[in-house]
Structure 1
Amino acid sequence: MNLFDHSNRDRNDGTRRIYALYEIAHTSVDFSAAACFLIGSVLFLWPAYETAAIWLFIIGSVFFMAKPTLRLLRELHLYRMGKLDTLAKRTD
């Protein structure tokens, strides 16, 4: 059992549920980042909104940084679930 091993997500119903929840979070963050950059880009067309545009770019960058963080957290979560499964099998 390794991190980023595709078989970790299909181990049981619990791992499939966790994987799906993290994918929903990842997709939501992706859309949020894209929206921030799109709206920020449009706001740059008017000098009066330049500060708001800059802030949207910063917020969008934070969202983009959250994406790999979510992936790593998901993989660690699935890995720990596998360790618990292995431990439970040893005690049977």
Structure 2
Amino acid sequence: MFFSPDNRSRSARHLRLYAYFELAYTVTDFCAAALFLAGSLLFFSEATTYAATWLFVIGSVLFGARPSIKLVRELIYMRMGDYEDVAQSLK
């Protein structure tokens, strides 16, 4: 099944990929939160409202990237031959 926690321990390659993608997920999450915080602070001044809006837009894109990161990881697992989990979820 997609997003199965068992995938991370199937092989050394799976473990390495899982670690890289978890790092990417965490960095994306942190950056999105930092941009939202900075945007919120910039909204206190009318002079920086335009910049704040852009920070919110970029933060929103990063929050949208989060599920994409997990989907890409699962697609890579499928390319590695992990069809069992996907086949189970389609039954």
Deviation digits for residues 15-69 of structure 1 (CA, Å, limit 9, x no counterpart):
0000000000000000100010000000000000000000000000000000000
Paired position in structure 2 for 1:5: 4
Paired position in structure 2 for 1:71: 70
Q: Is there any run of 5+ residues in structure 2 with no aligned partner, and where? A: 84-91
Q: CA RMSD in A?
A: 1.4
Moved more, 60-69 or 6-15: 6-15
Change (3 A) 1:82 1:9: farther
Note the C-alpha offset of 1:82: 3.0
**Are 2:28 and 1:29 aligned?**
yes
Note the C-alpha offset of 1:77: 1.0
Note the C-alpha offset of 1:3: 1.7
TM-score when scaled to structure 2?
Answer: 0.85
Larger Rg: 1
Contact 1:8 1:82 in 2 (8 A): no
Corresponding letter in the other structure for 1:67: R
Q: Count residues in correspondence.
A: 83
Paired position in structure 2 for 1:87: none
Note the C-alpha offset of 1:80: 1.9
The runs of 4+ residues in structure 1 deviating greater than 6 Å are: none
